[in-house]
Amino acid sequence: MTIKKQPFADAASLIRIFRKIHRQIAIVLFVFFLIISITGLLLGWKKNSFGLILPPTAKGVSADLKTWLQFDSLQTIAIKVLHDSISPTLSPDLERIDARPSKGIVKFVFEDDYWEIQLDGTTGETLQINKRTSDIIENIHDGTILDVLFNTKNDQFKLSYTSIMGIALLLLTASGFWLWYGPRRMRKLKHQPQNKDI
C-alpha cells in the first residue's frame, strides 16, 4: 500500500524554490532597495520639509498675466542672475520653466547643478536662488543620476535601473506571497483525507 503525497511534496518544493529566489534577490539588490525606500520617503515629504528638500515658492506682486514681463525678458534676467550670483561658468541651458500665475512668479530651473531661480513675473525681481535638492533625490531614486554623471543620452541607465528594480520587486512580491500562502496550503493538504492505492 502506497500513500500519494505528490501535492504535498510539490508545495514543499515550490516553497524551497521561492525562498531561494526571495533570498537571492534581497541579498543582491539590498542596497538599491534601501536607496529607493529612503529617497521615496524623502520625496513623499518634500513639500512638508520646510524648504530643506523642495525650495518654497515665493510670492510676486501680481497674479495678473497682463502685467507680467515677456518670458524671453524674464529668461534673460534669470541667466544674468545665474552668472552673476552663482557662477559665470554654468550653462544657461534650462531644464524647464515653471510659471505660477497664482503666486505671481516664474521658476527657471537650469540643467547644471540643479539650480533654481525664482523671479517676480511683473517686476523681474529675483525672489529666491535655490539648489533643488528634491531633483537630486528624484534622480537618485529613479537612476537618472547615472545618466547625468556619465552624460548619456536616451536615459539608458534610468531605463535599465527601473526595469531591473521593477522586475525584482514583482518577483519579491510573488515569492513573498508564496512564502506566506505555501505553508497554509501544506497544512490544508496535510489534513485532507489521504488517497491510498492498494
Binned at pLDDT 50, 70 and 90, residue 2 comes out as very low
pLDDT tens for each residue of 156-174? 999 999 999 999 999 999 9
pLDDT tens for each residue of 61-85? 999 999 999 999 999 999 999 999 9
pLDDT tens for each residue of 91-123? 999 999 999 999 999 999 999 899 999 999 999
Q: Helices (H), strands (E): how many in the chain?
A: 6, 6
Instruction: Answer yes or no: is pLDDT of 132 > 70.
Output: yes
Q: What is the pLDDT of residue 1?
A: 39
Q: What is the pLDDT of residue 195?
A: 56
Q: What is the pLDDT of residue 198?
A: 45
| Alpha helices for 66-193 (secondary structure H) | 71-81, 133-142, 144-150, 156-190
User: What contacts 92, CB < 8 A, 6 or more positions away?
Assistant: 79, 82, 83, 110
Q: Which SS3 state, helix, strand or coil, does residue 3 take?
A: strand
Strands (E), 39-157: 94-100, 105-110, 115-120, 126-131
